[in-house]
Amino acid sequence: MKKILGIILICITIYSCGNNKNEFDASGTFESTEIIISSESTGKILNLSIEEGDKINKNEIVGIIDSVQLHLKKMQLIKNMQSVISRSPKISTQLAILKEELKKQIKEQKRLKRLAKANAASEKQIDDISASVLILKSKIKALKSTLNNNVNSISAQSSAIEIQIAQIEDQLSKCYIKSPTNGSILAKYSQEGEFARIGKPLFKIANLDEVFLKAYINSGQLLNLKLGQSVKVFANFGGDKQREYKGNISWISNKSEFTPKSIQTQDERENLVYAIKVKIKNDGYIKLGMYGEVKF
One domain for residues 76 and 49: no
| C-beta separation of 296 from 224 below 8 A | yes
One domain for residues 73 and 143: yes
Question: Which of 199-219 are b and which e, b meaning 16 or more Cβ less than 10 Å from the residue's Cβ?
Answer: ebebbbbbbbeebbbbbbbbe
Query: Diameter of the chain by CA atoms?
Result: 158
| C-beta separation of 98 from 64 below 8 A | no
The confidence score (pLDDT) of residue 74 equals 96
Q: What percent of the chain has pLDDT over 70?
A: 88
Residue-range definition of the domain harbouring residue 231: 24-35+207-295
The confidence score (pLDDT) of residue 239 equals 79
pLDDT, average across residues 113-130:
85
One domain for residues 255 and 281: yes
One domain for residues 28 and 99: no
One domain for residues 153 and 284: no
**How many folded domains does the chain comprise?**
3
CA–CA distance from 264 to each of 29, 225, 267, 280 (Å)? Answer: 12, 18, 8, 21
One domain for residues 59 and 83: no
pTM of the model: 0.69
One domain for residues 109 and 59: no
Separation CA 130–CA 111 (nearest Å):
12
| C-beta separation of 293 from 24 below 8 A | yes
| C-beta separation of 45 from 199 below 8 A | no
One domain for residues 82 and 115: yes
Query: CATH number of the domain that 232 lies in?
Result: 2.40.30.170
One domain for residues 63 and 185: yes
pLDDT in tens, 213-243: 999 998 888 888 999 999 999 999 987 889 9
Separation CA 139–CA 164 (nearest Å):
37
Q: Is the pLDDT of residue 150 over 80?
A: yes
Separation CA 75–CA 79 (nearest Å):
6
